[in-house]
Amino acid sequence: MSGTVKVRQLRRADTRTRILDVAERLAQRRGFNGFSYADVATELHLTTASLHYHFAGKAELGRAMLMRYAERFAQALASIEARLPDAPERLAAYADLYAAVLRQRRLCLCGMLAAEYQTLPKPMRACVLRFFDDNECWLSRILETGRAAGQLHFAGSPQEAARMIVCGLEGAMLLARPYGDVTRFQSAARQLLSSLTAPADTL
């Protein structure tokens, strides 16, 4: 491979990354239906034809954006599990992932798009559902091991508790956003997670 070809490939990859970065930020702040190819092109000083070169249409852009977001989130979950040995610490770190997004004045990408689910292209719908399914699966495993170790206490199945956590954190993000106050989210997250560490006789 010649040096010129390699430089061109790197430039194309860099442009693709920048397109995804801008699209993700806009989607997290406005929703998928709240921005257009023209918005992305204007911000990056590109033509819409340049965007179509990298992504045939907005549906393809949205799917690539969701797949990249899910991959990063999965890597973050793997890092949490590798760094932290105890289930309560892992759950707290999981909630911190949401808080970090909120500090950027954004919402969870899949949480935002869940509100637009019926209007999304079908491939994007599948990505949104897979994201939540994967998160619930990871949480279920953490909850199950935490309960077995006596670190967590909750009624019902780990799957039900995992669903409660995802729903609680996504809802807390949504309600904290208009106030521009991350502490509202953090307070709700602490209350939610503390209910899982309370001794069984206090439930």
pLDDT at 198: 72
DSSP string, 29-61: HH-GGG--HHHHHHHHT--HHHHHHH-SSHHHH
Residue 117's domain spans which residues? 59-202
In a domain, 3, yes or no: no
Residue 63: which of 124, 143, 129 has the closest Cα? 124
- Chain centroid to Cα 83, Å, comes to 20
Q: What is the mean pLDDT of the chain?
A: 93
CA distances from 103 to 95, 108, 111 (A): 13, 11, 16
pLDDT digits (tens, 9 = 90+) for 166-203: 999 999 999 999 999 999 999 999 999 999 987 655 44
Residue 131: which of 72, 179, 86, 81 has the closest Cα? 72
In a domain, 27, yes or no: no
pLDDT digits (tens, 9 = 90+) for 55-87: 999 999 999 999 999 999 999 999 999 999 999
Q: What is the mean pLDDT of residues 33-50?
A: 94
The answer to whether 92 touches 144, Cβ cutoff 8 Å, is no
pLDDT digits (tens, 9 = 90+) for 135-166: 999 999 999 999 999 999 999 999 999 999 99
pLDDT at 12: 67
In a domain, 72, yes or no: yes
In a domain, 23, yes or no: no
> What percent of the chain clears pLDDT 70, i.e. is strictly above it?
91
Residue type for position 173: M
Residue type for position 187: S
CATH of the domain at 91: 1.10.357.10
In a domain, 11, yes or no: no
Is residue 11 scored above 90 in pLDDT? no
Token readout for 184 is: 């509202």
In a domain, 24, yes or no: no
Terminal CA-CA length for the chain: 65
In a domain, 21, yes or no: no
pLDDT at 165: 98
Number of domains in the chain: 1
- pTM (2 decimals)? 0.90
Which DSSP state fits 202? G
In a domain, 4, yes or no: no
pLDDT at 5: 45
The answer to whether 190 touches 202, Cβ cutoff 8 Å, is no
d(C-alpha 147, C-alpha 78), whole Å: 20
The answer to whether 22 touches 95, Cβ cutoff 8 Å, is no
